[in-house]
A and B are shown apart, each in its own frame.
Chain A
Amino acid sequence: MTLVFALAASALFGTGAYLVLNRDLVRVVLGVVVISQASVLTLIASGLVRGQAPIDPEPGLPVADPLSEAMALTAIVIGLAVTALLLTLVLRVVDAYRVRDLGEVSDEEAEQDERLERAEAAEHDAEEAAAR
Chain B
Amino acid sequence: MTAAWIALVVPWAAGIVALVLDGRRRAVGWAAVAGLAVNFVALVVLAVGVIDDGPRSVTTGDWPAGVGITLRADALGVLFAALSSLTLLAATSHELADGIRERSFPGLVLLLATGLTGVFVTGDLFNFYVFFELSMTAAYVLATYGGGRRELGAALVFTTANLLGTFVFLLSVAGLYHVTGTLDMTRIADRMAVVEPSTALLIAVGFFVAFSVKLGLFPFHFWLPTVYTGAGPAVAAILSGGLANIGSYGLLRFGGEMLPRELEFAAVPLMVIGCASIIYGGILAVSRRTASEMLAYSAIGQVGYVLVAIGVGGAVGFAAAILYAVVNALNKTLMFLTLRMRGALVAGAFVIGALSVAGVPPAAGFVGKLELFHATAGDPALIVLIFLGGALSFVYVFQVYQFEFWRTAPSGPRSGRPQQAIVGALALLTLSVGLWPEPLLALSRDAAAVLGAVGG
Binding site for B on A (CB under 8 A): 20, 25, 28, 32, 35-36, 38-39, 42-43, 45-46, 48, 67-68, 71, 74-75, 78, 81-82, 85-86, 89-90, 92-93, 96-97, 105-106, 108-109, 112, 117, 120-121, 124, 127
User: In the complex the two chains form, is B170's CB within 8 Å of A43's CB?
Assistant: yes
Q: Are A97 and B149 in contact (CB under 8 A)?
A: yes
What 6 A-B pairs are tightest by C-beta distance, nearest first? A46-B178, A46-B174, A39-B170, A42-B174, A39-B167, A43-B174
Q: Give the docked Cα–Cα distance between A82 and B160 (Å).
A: 10
Q: Is the interface of B mostly helix, strand, loop or mixed?
A: helix
Partner of A42, one of B170, B183, B407: B170
For B175, the chain A residues whose CB sits under 8 A away are 42, 46
CB A35 to nearest CB in B, in angstroms, measures 5
Tally B residues with Cβ within 8 Å of A: 34
The reply to whether the CB of B156 lies closer than 8 angstroms to some CB of chain A is yes
14 examples of A-B residue contacts, CB within 8 angstroms: A20-B160, A28-B160, A35-B167, A39-B170, A42-B175, A43-B170, A46-B178, A48-B178, A71-B177, A78-B130, A81-B137, A82-B159, A85-B159, A89-B152
Q: Judging by beta carbons under 8 Å apart, are B167 and A86 in contact?
A: no
CA of A43 to CA of B177, assembled, Å:
9
Nearest-neighbour CB distance to chain A for B81, whole angstroms, equals 22
A contact residues around B167 at 8 Å (CB):
35-36, 38-39
Contacts A42-B174, A46-B175; is A32 near B160 (CB within 8 Å)? yes
Partner of B407, one of A68, A96, A127: A127
A45-B174, A75-B170, A78-B133 known; A89 vs B149 contact (CB < 8 Å): no
Q: Determine the chain B residues whose CB is within 8 A of the CB of A92 once the complex forms.
A: 144, 152
B163 at the interface (CB under 8 A from A): yes
CA distance A86 to B164 in the complex (A): 12
How many contacts between A and B, using CB within 8 angstroms? 92
Neighbouring A residues of B155 by C-beta, 8 Å: 89
B261 CB, nearest partner CB in chain A, Å:
21
- Neighbouring A residues of B152 by C-beta, 8 Å: 89, 92-93, 96-97
Interchain nearest-CB distance for A80 vs B (Å): 12
Complex Cα gap A78–B173 (Å) = 15
User: Which B residues are in CB contact (< 8 Å) with A75?
Assistant: 170
Assess the A32–B164 pair: CB atoms within 8 A.
yes
CA distance A39 to B175 in the complex (A): 10
Cβ–Cβ contact B183 & A67, under 8 A: yes
Q: Are B171 and A120 in contact (CB under 8 A)?
A: no
- In B19-51, the 8 Å CB interface with A consists of none
> In the complex the two chains form, what is the Cα distance from A93 to B140 in whole Å?
14
Q: How far is the CA of A90 from the CA of B137 in the complex (A)?
A: 15
Which has the most chain A C-beta neighbours within 10 Å: B148, B170, B175?
Answer: B170
